[in-house]
Structure 1
């Protein structure tokens, strides 16, 4: 939980740069990346809460193992799913509101059971 809290603090500290872009890094703005991160965290929490621990079964996934071993996700290899792609109507204020919602959702993780899982679109369960 502490790492997630640290991540949210880092995201919050960059909200002031919502409109900034660095084309060498991404075509999207800092705000877009913050909103994308918040949408992703919330969707994962929702998936964890809805999962049935009895259905969890570990399965080897070479791509997942490679990414975990290298501790790096290759850039530009895949597009994020539509469910975590932000609309363009966010502002610094709406990012702050979404951040508050995400902080509350993270607290809900304490109520999860062992083996509740999230099915990643590329890495699986």
Structure 2
């Protein structure tokens, strides 16, 4: 959990750059990248909290195994699901509010059962440990995009 908190802190450090863009890297702004990342964190944690751990069943998914091996999300290969696609342009206040919610949600994850789970569109059901792995991987992916936007 500590690693995830550090990664969220890195997102927080990018909020001052929220209006920056670089179309050679991404069509979206830094703010959109941050907003999307926070929507994912908060959405996943809500699903974990609302899940019934007794219903969790592990199933083999080759795509999940492949991504776990390479430990990287390929850029530009997947469309953002509507549920975590920012529709409005977030301002600093919106991002700060979502960030605080994410910090609180991450702290609450420590209280969850090991088989609390959320269902990923490609990876299937991910229990708490796998969900934390996914959140770290996904957020790092967007942090790399942010860093590429900001450095150019």
Shorter-chain TM-score: which interval? over 0.9
TM-score, normalized by length of structure 1? 0.95
**1:30 is the counterpart of 2:4:** no
CA distance in 2, matches of 1:18, 1:114: 35
Question: Which residue number corresponds to residue 53 of structure 1?
Answer: 53
1:83-107, Cα deviation, whole Å (9 max, x unpaired): 1011223101221121111111111
Which residue is 1:8 aligned to? Answer: 8
Runs of 4+ aligned structure 1 residues displaced above 6 Å come to none
Distance in 2 of aligned mates of 1:116 and 1:100: 22
The structure whose residues are more often helix, as a share, is 2
Per-residue CA distance 1:2-29 (angstroms, 9 max, x = gap): 1111111100100000000121221100
**Whole-Å Cα distance in 2 between the matches of residues 93 and 116 of structure 1?**
31
C-alpha separation between the residues in 2 aligned to 1:71 and 1:105?
24
Structure 1: gaps spanning 5 or more residues: none
Equivalent residue number for residue 98 of structure 2:
98
- Alpha-carbon distance between aligned partners in 1 of 2:92 and 2:50, rounded to the nearest angstrom: 30
* CA RMSD, Structure 1 to Structure 2 (Å): 1.0
Q: What is the distance in 2 between the residues matched to 1:68 and 1:99?
A: 26
The residue matched to 1:87 in structure 2 has which SS? coil
1:36 and 1:101 mapped to 2: Cα distance?
A: 14
More strand by share: 2
Q: Which moved more, 1:44-53 or 1:102-111?
A: 102-111
